[in-house]
């Protein structure tokens, strides 16, 4: 009998082999990396009741996620519809058909330069509307994609020990952002490097044709959390393919071109930072590319092959410039908007990377940051106790975690408040479908704010509110208000809110036990 909510039959294929390439350089060599997030997203879809027995999985993919979904679909009796494009090679196409997948190839970019990825998503939306019981794993926006990589991060720590630098290709953002977030819980100084390609808009290049599949793209996925990255490198296809051959010829690893790209950057970083432990992510094997990257005739048609290939990156001033070869940029854990506006470029160039993340000029805010809180973090917040008279007014952490487990992660965002590497509290922000009835759609609401008893009296409640407002300003530019409901009997919370800049709106909500005042902060004029 199948256990449909624990789809572990292919589990042995999920994790990579860890290969030592030189003293401090390790390759995490996956058979098919996407099996890990695919299985996790499907399992969670079943748990939430979105994916029903015999239902249809619909996704946009040009390769590896599609194959992973197809393998899981046959194991567990689901149908699969894939919307893909030119980059789906004929062998994979045949294999997917053999696995019973319905494939539609979208062949032209849409009107107004909307790009082929957007066209794929538009077509996918039509399938989702037409097919009853259809489920969209949504790798670009589903928080379960990055979350799936907790298991990989755990394995890396077990096998490598201290990790100083993680390098990998970025497509949906799931693997690099997820793994980095998990690793930073243990190694806060971890240096994260994204590998992209010219003409991909993910890290600020002007849009153009991207000649490789798997990394980069014409839309910026929600799962690309730019603030995770210290450095970004762009490699031309010829440079990636050279890295792929070097990985094969020098180490015997027969991998795909995005692995070659990660290897080229990781090998350089490891040589220029001796004594550091570096892990490079290699997402898939080379078999798919036998007739392309591993074929000399095909390679000879690639622009720049084999003469225009850099052996080290050229440091660039701005990601928006035209790139003719391997280039690198100090991203310094900034948002895309900050990089585009040139914000804090100076501090980035001269200061350590951690200072770049601090959004505050006051001393109080220095060393403070938000980190994502997931329902796996119960032990991380176990020390945040409150006095009994405060507990009365807030949900116990177990209830918060239960809600997090059951709510779509795209509309509820839970954060740890971290001050000088210590977790001092947490809160949850809600938007769109998760908004309470008293909040207008233009607002984001603040809930479950908890600052541990032993950390109170240091201004951390105020700090948490400011960090929440900062997150909204950076991540939700269309939102104009942050709102909160405070139990009329909770004098301390009311004072905290007022001293943080909230003002009464005059509205009252009846609340579960007693009435709540609705307070609001108007964010900067939009």
Ligand X SMILES: Cc1ncc(COP(=O)(O)O)c(C=O)c1O
Alpha-carbon span 508 to 519, nearest angstrom: 9
* Smaller CB separation from ligand X, 56 or 175: 175
* Smaller CB separation from ligand X, 256 or 452: 256
Strand residues in 316-433 grouped as ranges (E): 327-330, 368-372, 412-419, 422-430
Backbone angles phi, psi at 413, to 5 degrees: -125, 115
User: Closest approach of Cβ 67 to ligand X, in Å?
Assistant: 9
User: Closest approach of Cβ 9 to ligand X, in Å?
Assistant: 22
Half-sphere CA count of 471, side-chain side, radius 13 A: 26
Alpha-carbon span 285 to 255, nearest angstrom: 4
Taking CB atoms, the residue at the shortest distance from ligand X is 214
* Smaller CB separation from ligand X, 63 or 243: 63
β-partners of residue 271 are none
User: Closest approach of Cβ 171 to ligand X, in Å?
Assistant: 3
User: Closest approach of Cβ 350 to ligand X, in Å?
Assistant: 30
Question: CB-based contacts of 522: which residues, under 8 Å, 6+ apart?
Answer: 480, 481
* Smaller CB separation from ligand X, 80 or 176: 176
| Residue pointed to by tokens 């044709």 | 209
The count of other CB atoms within 10 Å of the CB of residue 287 is 12
* Smaller CB separation from ligand X, 169 or 243: 169
* Smaller CB separation from ligand X, 170 or 332: 170
333: helix, coil or strand? coil
User: Closest approach of Cβ 215 to ligand X, in Å?
Assistant: 5
CA dihedral 497, 502, 507, 508 (to 10 degrees): -10
User: Closest approach of Cβ 265 to ligand X, in Å?
Assistant: 13
Consecutive H or E run containing 81: strand 79-84
User: Closest approach of Cβ 468 to ligand X, in Å?
Assistant: 27
* Smaller CB separation from ligand X, 199 or 258: 258
User: Closest approach of Cβ 216 to ligand X, in Å?
Assistant: 9
Residues that bind ligand X (CB under 6 A): 34, 63-65, 169-176, 214-215, 256, 258, 283-284
Question: CB-based contacts of 82: which residues, under 8 Å, 6+ apart?
Answer: 58, 59, 60, 61, 66, 69, 70, 96, 101, 102, 103, 104
Alpha-carbon span 168 to 196, nearest angstrom: 9
Note whether 264 and 252 are within 8 A (CB).
Answer: no
* Smaller CB separation from ligand X, 174 or 198: 174
């Amino acid at each position: 009998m199948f256990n449909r909510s624990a789809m572990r039959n292919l589990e042995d294929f999920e994790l990579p082999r860890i290969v030592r390439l030189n003293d401090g350089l390790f390759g995490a060599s996956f058979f098919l990396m996407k099996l890990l997030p695919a299985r996790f997203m499907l399992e969670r879809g079943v748990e939430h009741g979105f994916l029903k027995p015999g239902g249809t999985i619909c996704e946009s993919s040009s390769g590896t996620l599609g194959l992973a979904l197809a393998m899981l679909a046959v194991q567990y009796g689901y149908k699969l519809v894939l919307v893909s494009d030119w980059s789906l090679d004929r062998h994979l196409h045949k294999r997917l058909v053999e696995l019973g997948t319905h494939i539609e190839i979208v062949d032209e970019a849409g009107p107004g330069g909307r790009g082929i990825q957007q066209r794929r998503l538009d077509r996918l939306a039509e399938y989702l509307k037409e097919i009853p019981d259809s489920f969209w794993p949504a790798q670009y926006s589903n928080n379960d994609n990055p979350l799936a990589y907790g298991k990989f991060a755990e394995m890396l720590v077990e096998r490598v020990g201290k990790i100083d630098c993680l390098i990998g290709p970025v497509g949906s953002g799931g693997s690099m952002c997820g793994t980095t977030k998990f690793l930073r819980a243990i190694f806060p100084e971890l240096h994260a490097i994204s590998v992209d390609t010219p003409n991909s808009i993910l890290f600020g290049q002007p849009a153009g044709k991207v000649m490789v599949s798997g990394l980069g793209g014409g839309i910026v996925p929600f799962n690309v959390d730019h603030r995770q990255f210290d450095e970004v490198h762009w490699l031309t296809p010829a440079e990636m393919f050279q890295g792929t051959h070097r990985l094969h010829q020098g180490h015997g690893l027969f991998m795909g071109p995005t692995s070659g790209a990660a290897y080229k950057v990781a090998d350089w970083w490891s040589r220029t930072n001796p004594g550091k432990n570096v892990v490079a992510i290699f997402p898939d094997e080379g078999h798919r590319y036998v007739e392309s990257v591993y074929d000399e005739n095909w390679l000879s048609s690639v622009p720049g092959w084999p003469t225009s290939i850099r052996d080290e990156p050229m440091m660039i001033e701005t990601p928006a410039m035209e790139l003719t070869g391997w280039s690198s940029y100090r991203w310094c854990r900034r948002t895309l908007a900050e990089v585009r506006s040139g914000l804090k470029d100076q501090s980035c160039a001269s200061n350590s990377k951690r200072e770049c993340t601090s959004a505050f000029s006051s001393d109080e805010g220095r060393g403070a940051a938000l980190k994502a809180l997931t329902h796996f973090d119960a032990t991380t917040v176990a020390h945040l106790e409150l006095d009994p008279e405060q507990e009365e007014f807030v949900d116990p952490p177990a209830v918060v975690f239960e809600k997090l487990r059951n709510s779509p992660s795209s509309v509820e965002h839970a954060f740890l408040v971290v001050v000088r590497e210590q977790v001092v509290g947490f809160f949850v922000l809600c938007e769109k479908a998760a908004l309470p009835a008293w909040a207008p759609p233009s607002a984001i609401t603040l809930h479950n704010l908890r600052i541990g008893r032993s950390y109170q009296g240091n201004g951390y409640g105020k700090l948490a509110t400011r960090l929440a407002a900062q997150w909204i300003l950076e991540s939700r530019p269309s939102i104009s208000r942050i709102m909160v409901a405070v139990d009329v009997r909770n004098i301390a919370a009311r004072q905290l809110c007022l001293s943080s800049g909230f003002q009464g709106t005059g509205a009252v909500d009846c609340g579960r036990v007693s009435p709540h005042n609705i307070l609001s902060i108007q964010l900067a004029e939009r």
